[in-house]
Amino acid sequence: MLKINNLTVAHGAIRAIDDISFSVEKGQLAAVIGSNGAGKTTLMRTLSGLKSAENGTATWLDHNLLHGKPEHHVRQGVSHVSEGKSVIAQLTVEENLDLGALWRRNRDEAWATKEEVFTLFPRLGERRKQLADTLSGGERQMLAIGRAYMSRPALLLLDEPSLGLAPLVIEQIFQSIRHIVDSMGVTVVLVEQNAMGALKIADSGVVLNLGTIAASGKASDLIADPAVRTAYLGF
Amino acid sequence: MLKKHPIITFIFFGFILFLISNRLDELRVYQGATVAVYAIGIASLILLIGYSGQVSLGHGAFLAIGGFAAALARIHYEAPVWLTFVVAVLAAAIAGALLGLAAARLSGPYLAGTTLALAIGLPSIANQFSIFGGEQGISFDIGLPPASLGEDFTQYKWFFWISWTVALITLYWLRNILNSRYGRGWRAVRSNDVAAELAGIHVGRNKVLAFTISAGLAGLAGALLAMTISLASPGVFPLALSFSLATGAVLSGVTTLGGIMIGSVTLVAIPEIALAIANRYGSETITTNLPGLLVSALLILTVLFVPNGPVEQMHAKRAKRGHSSHSPVEISVRVGSKTWSTKK
Amino acid sequence: MKQFLDMVLIGISAASIYSLMAISMVLVWRSTRVVNFAQAGMALLSAYIGYELVARVGNFWIALPLAMILGAAFSAFIEFVLMRTLQKHSAQGAIAAIAPIIATLGLLGLIRAGIGFIWGHADVQIEAPLSKVGFTFGDTTIVMSPMGLFVLLFVIELMIIVSIVFQDTNIGLALRASAYAPEIAQLAGIRVSGIRTLGWAIAGAAGAAAGILQTVNGTGALSPESLEFSLLLVFGFIAAVVGGLESLPGAVLGALILGLVLAAVQIYISGALVFIVAFLLLLLVLILRPQGFLGSKAGRRA
C-alpha cells in the first residue's frame, strides 16, 4: 500500500505540502481533490520523484518514493501521468506507447500490453500511426494513460486527466480508470479539480487545502459531508 | 554613495584616475586605456544580454565596424577626432539596427549562432574590399596631445584621458538609460515577453532598440581601441575579442553595471599574469596558450558557479538575509482566468 | 556545361562535410537542447588525434574509425562532466538560457589552448590516403577525386546508419523522446541522462569524422586557430538551421542546399562573396522559415 507520513515539500519559500499523512490500500482508487494551489500537483511530482521533499516519508509497498530518480520508480511499478499534455507531440501514437515499455526486458509481454491498451482505448488503435499532435484532447489523455499503463504499473498517479475535456469524454476516461482498478488490480491516486467526478468513482478521498489535509475518508462519506459539499462540490 | 550622488561619484572616480595616471608608467597607462575600452564593450553586452536578454557572441564585429569607420573618416575626410567617434557610433548602430531587426525574432541558440557566424565571417568579408586595407588595415592617428597639457604629457596618457573621459560619460549615460523606463522595459521583456506585450510594451521595437544602442556603444569602444593601437585591422578585432567581451560580461555579472570594473580589469590582467607565469618557467608555449586557457577556464567556472556575477551574488545574499537593495520589475497581467507574470 | 558539372561536384563535396558537422550539431541539439559551439573544437581535437593515430599507426583506414571512437568518448566525457554540472547548478535569471551556450564557448577556448599547448601552433599535416586528383574521362578532368568520392560515400553511409538508428530502433526512440520531452521520457522509465550522453557520443563521432575528412580533403593542414574549422562550425550551423535544427534529414538537406548555393556563387560570381551569401541565407531562413525546410512547427521552441 501507499503510505505517506508527515510529508513536507517546499516550493521556493512556501510550504506547498505541509506535514500531511495518509495511506491508500492496495487495489483502491483514492481521489485527491482541492482547489488551485492546494498542493495536489506538487504531491504527485514528489511521489514520482520529480521533486524532492523536505521532510517525512512516502513508501509504496516497501519502496521509498522520496529517494531516487523518476525512471527508477517506474521500474518499481510506479507510473505518473503528469498534468497537461503528457504525450510527446512529435512521436506517433504507437511510438508514445512503445516509449512506456522501452525499459521492459520482455518484448513479447510489452507487445501484449500494447494490445491491452488498444482494447481499453480503441480509438488509439485506429490512430496508431498518427502523430500525437493530431489527436484531440480526449484522445491525448487516453494516450497518456495508455503510455503509463505500458509500464505495467502497480501504482498509477494521475494528475487532472479531465482538464479541458468535454463532459462525455471525461465520463469515458473516468470509466476506463475505474476499469483499470477493478480488472487489473492497479492502485490509483487520482488528482482532480473535478471533485464530484473523481469522488464518484473513488473508494477513498483526501481533500487538500493550502498544503494540508482538510478532510479524508471514504469517498461516499466525503460526498455526503456538508462542508466538503459546499466547498468543492458546489451544492 | 553611487545611488545618491551619481554625478559626484563619477567625477570623483575620474579625478582618482587622473591622479593615478600621473603616477603610472607608460605600459600601465596604456593598459588603463584598454580597461576603459573593455568597460564600454562589456557595458554594451550587459545592456544586451543582462537587460534585454538577447545574446551576442560576435560583438567584436561591432567594435570592428566602429573602429574601421572612425579610421576611414579620419583618413579620407580628415575628420576631427570627436567626429570620428560619432561616425563610429553611428556606423555600428546602423549595423546593430539591421542585425537587431533580424535578431528580434530569434532566440537563444539561433541568435547566438548567427552573431557568432557574423564575427567569424566579418574579417573574410572585409578582406575582399581593398578600402579596408586587407591584413594591414588602416592607420588611425588622432594626433598629438595639445601643447597646453605640457611637454611631459605622453601620447599614451592622452589616450588614457580620452578613453576614460568617454567611458565615464558613456557609463553614466548608460546607467541613466538602464534605470529609466527603457531599462525597465527591457527587463520586463526579458522576463516574460508576453506579459510585457500585454502591458503595452512593443516587444520588437524594444529589442531592436537594445541591439542598436548596444552596437553603437560597441562601435565607440572599437574606435577607442583603434585609437590606442593607432590602427584598425582584422588583427585588432579578432574572434577572441568577442569571446573576451562575453567572458568579461559574465565575470562582471550581466545583470548590472556594478561589477563592470571586475570584468574589464580581469581581461587586461590575464595576459599579464600569463606573461609573468611564462617568464617564470621560460616557456614560449605557455605564453601563447595560457591567456586563452585562463580566460576560458574562468568563463566556465564563472558560468557554473557565479552565473549572475559576483555583484548580483552579493545582492542575493543580502536579500536572503532580509535587506533588498533593488526591487525587481514586476508586471502581472490577468486575462480572464489566465495570468501572465514577470514575477519569478 | 563543364562549369555546371564542376559546380555540382564541388557543391556536393562541400555539402558532405558540412552535413557531418550539421548532423553532429543537430544530434546534440536534439538530445540536450544545447547548441554546442565547442563542437568545432571537439572536431578539431579529434582531427589532431587522427593526425597522431595516422602518424603512429601509419594507416588512415584504421585511424579514422579509431579517431571517431575516441571523439565519441571525449564528447561523452564532456557531456558527463560539463553539462551535468551545468544542470545541477542551473542558473537563474538573465543568464539562464545563455549559460550553457557560454559554457560551450569557454570549452572551445580551453580545447584550442590545450591543442596549442600539446601540438603547438605550427601546421601539422595529415596525409590523404587517396588521390586528390580529379577523375579523368578522356581529356576532361572533373572536380571529383577519389578522395572526394570516398568522403561522399562515407557520409551517405553514415547518414543512413544514423537515420535507421533514430527512426527504427528502440534506442533511437529513447533518443528522440529524451530530446523532445525529457520529463515525459523520465516518467516513462527512460534513463534520460544516460541517453543524452549517448547522443553526445554519437555527435562526437560524427564531428570527428567531419574534422578529419575536412582536413584530408582540403589542404591536409591543421592548426589550432584554423579558419577552416571556424568556417566548418559556421557552415555546419547554417546547414543545420536551413534544414531544420530538429531534423536529421534536414541537416543533410540543409548542407546540400548550402553546398550547392555556395559552389554556384564561387564558380559563377566570385569566391569573395561566399561567406556573405551564406550569412544572408542564414538570415533569410531564420526570418522566413525559422523551423528550417524540413522542420515542423511543432517542436521549434528554442
Q: Per-residue DSSP letters for A155-183?
A: EEEEE-TTTT--HHHHHHHHHHHHHHHHH
Render each residue's pLDDT in chain B as its tens digit; 344 residues: 566 677 887 888 888 888 877 777 778 888 888 999 999 999 999 888 888 878 888 899 999 999 999 988 888 888 788 888 999 999 999 999 988 888 777 777 788 888 888 888 887 777 777 777 777 778 887 777 777 777 777 788 888 888 888 998 898 888 888 888 888 888 877 777 777 777 777 878 888 898 999 999 999 999 999 998 888 888 888 887 888 888 888 888 777 777 888 888 888 888 788 777 777 776 666 667 777 788 788 888 887 777 777 766 676 677 666 544 444 555 666 666 666 665 54
Q: Which among C183, C184, C189 has CB closest to A102?
A: C189
A185/C280 Cα distance (integer angstroms):
61
Q: How far is C100 from chain B (nearest CA, A)?
A: 8
Query: C187 vs A99: CB contact, 8 Å cut-off?
Result: no
Contacts of C179 in chain A (CB under 8 A): none
Contact C106 B254 (CB under 8 A): no
Closest chain B C-alpha to C158 CA, distance in angstroms: 25
Contact between C140 and C2 under an 8 Å Cβ cutoff? The reply is yes
Q: From the list C181, C190, C246, which residue is nearest A102 (CB)?
A: C190
Calpha distance B219→B101 (Å, rounded): 18
Residue C216's Cβ-side half-sphere holds a number of Cα atoms within 13 Å equal to 28
Chain C hits for B50, Cβ within 8 Å:
94-95
Entry pTM: 0.78
Predicted local distance difference test score (pLDDT) of residue C301: 37
In this prediction, the answer to ipTM > 0.90 reads no
Which residues in chain C are closer than 8 Å to B247, comparing Cβ atoms? Answer: 106
Q: Is the pLDDT of residue A197 over 60?
A: yes
Question: Taking an 8 Å Cβ-Cβ cutoff, which residues of chain C contact chain A?
Answer: 170, 173-174, 176-177, 180-181, 183-192, 246, 296, 298-299
Q: Has residue A184 got a pLDDT over 70? A: yes
Chains that touch A (3 or more CB pairs under 8 A): C
- Predicted confidence at residue C84, as pLDDT, reads 73
**Mean of all residue pLDDT scores within chain A:** 87
Are B299 and C94 a contacting pair at CB < 8 A?
no
By the CB < 8 Å criterion, does B271 face chain C? no
Q: How many CB pairs under 8 A join B and C?
A: 160
- Could you report the per-residue pLDDT of B26-69, keeping only the tens digit for each? 788 888 889 999 999 999 998 888 888 788 888 999 999 999 99
B120: which chain C residues are within 8 Å (Cβ-Cβ)? Answer: 230-231, 233-234
For residue C252, the distance in angstroms to the closest alpha carbon of chain B comes to 18
Give average pLDDT by consecutive 10-residue segment, chain C, 302 residues. 79 85 83 75 86 83 88 89 71 65 82 83 76 70 77 85 87 87 88 88 88 80 75 86 81 88 83 81 82 61 35
The answer for residues whose C-beta is within 8 angstroms of residue C52's C-beta and 6 or more apart is: none
Residue with the three cell numbers 562549369: C3
Long-range contacts from C49-53, C-beta under 8 angstroms, 24+ separation: C49/C208, C50/C126, C50/C208, C50/C211, C50/C212, C50/C215, C51/C124, C51/C125, C51/C126, C51/C222
CA torsion angle for A158, A160, A162, A165 (degrees, to 10)? -130
Q: Which chain A residue is nearest to residue C296, measuring alpha carbons?
A: A90
What's the pLDDT at B344? 47
* ∠ CA A105-A159-A93, rounded to 5°: 50
pLDDT of res. A51: 85
Is the CB of B46 inside 8 Å of chain C's CB atoms? no
Over residues A9-42, the pLDDT tens digits come to 887 778 888 888 888 888 899 999 888 777 888 8
Chains touching chain C at 3 or more Cβ pairs under 8 angstroms? Answer: A, B
CA A188 to chain centre: 6
Q: Which of A71, A131, A151 sits opposite C192 (nearest CB)?
A: A71
Alpha helices in chain A (DSSP H): 40-48, 70-75, 93-101, 107-120, 122-126, 137-149, 167-184, 195-201, 219-224, 226-228
Q: Does A81 touch chain C (CB under 8 A)?
A: yes
